[in-house]
Amino acid sequence: MGSKVRKDTRHKTQDTRRSSYEGLQKNIKKLNAPKIEVWKNQYPERDYVITIDIPEFTCICPKTGLPDFANITIKYIPDVYCIELKSLKYYEIFYRNAGIFHENVVNKFLDDLVKACHPRWMEISGEFNARGGIKTSVRAEYKNV
């Protein structure tokens, strides 16, 4: 008698889970967030680090529609321009109604801030509060080489 071949269903289950998120973030890079303004750095000859903390960041989980809370930290070495904080406040408030994954928050922040101020170096980190017993930390870095 021939042996029975057992069908491996693990990959199908993973694919099914993945497909439930399919398309939720495909246009995230095109998200039209408010413009981040800059001002001219008065000490461009010197490397110094600016740290900005956003301890009350909120966004929406694109899957559940529930709010997510985080501390976003921005660190950068400016070149010609520095980030104007009032415009940054309006920028981060924009995300309160945006359905966005944690990983995409940090990477979108990095893309938009680098585009605005062209720093020598920048790091964005997000420490997202635990939900369902899981805490997420995400870090992304830019180096102007």
Q: Which active-site residues does the annotation give?
A: 61, 68
Number of neighbours of residue 118 by Cβ within 10 angstroms: 15
Strand partners, 112: none
Q: Take residue 47 and report the two structure tokens written for it.
A: 């490397």
Q: How far is CA 139 from CA 25, 71, 118, in A?
A: 19, 12, 19
- Give Dmax over CA atoms of the chain in angstroms: 84
